[in-house]
Amino acid sequence: MASTDDGGGAKPVGFDSLRRLKSTEPPLFLSPSPDLSQAARLASQYLFSSLKPFAPKSPFSQLLTEGFDAEQIWQQIDLQSQPLLLSLRRHVRHFEKNPEEIQKQFDLDRDRFGDSRKEETEDGDGDDKLVSREGNKSDGLESEGESFDEDEEDEVEEEEEEEEEEEEDGPDDGEMDNEEKGNADGVEDKFLKIKELEEYLVDDEEKEYGLKKEKKKRKRGEITDKDEDEDEEGDKEDEEDDEEEDNELGLMGLDDDDEEEDGSKMGTARYEDFFGAKRTGQGKKSQVFGGSDDLDMDDGNNNQKNNLSTHEKELEKLRSEIETMENANLEPKTWRMQGEVTAAKRPKNSALEVDLDFEHNVRPAPVITEEVTVSLEELIQKRILEGRFDDVQKPPTLPSRPPREKIELDENKSKKGLAALYEDEYVQKTGFISTALSFSDEQKKEASMLFKKLCLKLDALSHFHFTPKPVIEDMSIQANVPALAMEEIAPLAVSDAAMLAPEELFAGKGDIKEETELTKAERKRRRANKKRKFKAEATKRVTRKVQQNSVMNSAGGNDES
């Protein structure tokens, strides 16, 4: 009520503002001016209030602009206009099919224009009415909208989208109608129509993504009209935010990329492009849409993967890798990674396939080749010829202690008397005269003497240890041997101190001459002397014999006589 009154009072204001906006040059919209924004707000208010009677269900009786964001304002407008546009389209379609009704409408319009809006019980009549009313308004809207750059494009895009959607929605609606006719009893009433709700939601989302595309396009290409346009867009967006916040957050990034790459595909954008897979926040809506969405989603998935950017692809790859690795970590490890694995714990013959490496503590057996055999045989033959068998020889046992003196018992009659024995014993005890008592000492002495002689000879040969020849103090026959032997093999000097004196060697008197030195006369003399001696001895012997014989004869004679 109040709104209508205000609408009536504001009418000229609204018109004025609209006109003003229309008349302003487009470049002026670039710079933000409060006048223009105020004008825009007023114009929007006017439009809103004028459209209100035809809008099927709008919660706002009046467009609230004061203290509201551009986005919020736009949201309000959108709330109103969306279902309105839908119904208008429906009417247009209807009229397309049934052209004769247009005439009827025009005839009826004059009658019913002034009437207040009736509550509609039937969809068809209501729609027709709406179409008829809204057709004017939509035309008006459209004509007015064309003045706005952004609105034109927006409308064009939206129309395109909505046309496509409506083509789809046609069968969808049909299906939905079939499905939900049954449910209609409890849920639906004159206020809440589920079909309309669904359609509205779909359109809303489309518009939202159409808006996003538009926004991206702006950001990419166009510099002009940025601020103003953003304000305008912000208004529209605000209306959407209340319902579509989740969707925006969930799908913004992907859709932005999507829109940037596929500019050409803008026109052919489909529901599945945006709502391809069942993502978060879409749970309710996807369930609501049911089977139809499943088909769309499969297609949507493929399309989405093709449409990903490089960065997206890399991220996708990484994620998949991470996922596989995490899964692998969660699973139990392969038998190769486990510690001690017995045969029971691993599959059969699995150890054969694995390249195992372990230490062999045993030297591998030598490979017997012909060469090895030949070499061995050669060695054996050589050894046999040499006679060098490496026989094991017993090591000489070292005596732990020196061998005890073996006491030999003398079994002969002792030469010494008992007194002498005790005398010797006493003497030894007192230590008066040191003498070797035991019988074995003599043999020892002899042995030691022999050994010393041998050692001397050996030392002389080797020159290492010089020991002078021992001076043996015996009362023995003095041999004509030098007492000292020098160090060298051939003694340079030999002392003849111990030699026999010439007198000892030969005792004779006179001038001694050898046989060779003798003269002839002397030789004759010597021979003569020798003869004389011999003769003298011979005669002596003869006489002695004669004497003996004579004695014996005489003795014998005496006996006889």
> Could you list the residues that contact another protein (CB under 8 A)?
405, 407, 409-414, 417-423, 425, 428-429, 438
- CB of 439 vs another protein, minimal distance in Å: 8
- CB of 401 vs another protein, minimal distance in Å: 15
How many angstroms separate the CA atoms of 225 and 215, rounded? 12
Contact between 33 and 227 under an 8 Å Cβ cutoff? The reply is no
Please report the DSSP string for 71-96 in residue order.
Answer: HHHHHHHHHHHHHHHHHHHHHHHHHH
> In sequence order, what are the residues at sequence separation of 6 or more whose Cβ sits closer than 8 angstroms to the Cβ of residue 4?
49
- Cα 169 to chain centroid distance, Å, stands at 57
Tokens 């809008």 correspond to: 55
Closest CA relative to residue 28, chosen from 228, 265, 271: 228
For another protein, which is the closer residue by CB, 106 or 422? 422
How many angstroms separate the CA atoms of 65 and 55, rounded? 19
For another protein, which is the closer residue by CB, 183 or 438? 438
116: which DSSP letter?
P
For another protein, which is the closer residue by CB, 384 or 420? 420
- CB of 397 vs another protein, minimal distance in Å: 24
For another protein, which is the closer residue by CB, 358 or 432? 432
Contact between 492 and 486 under an 8 Å Cβ cutoff? The reply is yes
Residue 488 in tokens: 């060298």
- CB of 404 vs another protein, minimal distance in Å: 8
In angstroms, what CA-CA distances link 442 with 402, 438, 439, 447? 21, 8, 6, 9
- CB of 419 vs another protein, minimal distance in Å: 4
How many angstroms separate the CA atoms of 561 and 498, rounded? 70
For another protein, which is the closer residue by CB, 31 or 412? 412
Backbone Cα Rg of the chain: 76
- CB of 420 vs another protein, minimal distance in Å: 8
For another protein, which is the closer residue by CB, 98 or 414? 414
For another protein, which is the closer residue by CB, 411 or 515? 411
- CB of 385 vs another protein, minimal distance in Å: 52
- CB of 546 vs another protein, minimal distance in Å: 46
For another protein, which is the closer residue by CB, 97 or 429? 429
Residue 386 in tokens: 């040499």
Residue 131 in tokens: 């179409």
State the burial class of residue 20 (Cβ atoms within 10 Å of its Cβ: 0-12, 13-18, 19+).
middle
For another protein, which is the closer residue by CB, 409 or 471? 409
For another protein, which is the closer residue by CB, 311 or 415? 415
Contact between 279 and 251 under an 8 Å Cβ cutoff? The reply is yes
- CB of 450 vs another protein, minimal distance in Å: 25
- CB of 449 vs another protein, minimal distance in Å: 23
User: What phi and psi, each to the nearest 5 degrees, are found at residue 471?
Assistant: -85, 110
For another protein, which is the closer residue by CB, 181 or 416? 416
Helices and strands in the chain, H and E counts: 19, 0
Q: Which conformational region is residue 257 in: left (phi greater than 0), alpha (psi within -120 to 50 degrees), or beta? A: alpha
- CB of 423 vs another protein, minimal distance in Å: 8
State the burial class of residue 473 (Cβ atoms within 10 Å of its Cβ: 0-12, 13-18, 19+).
exposed
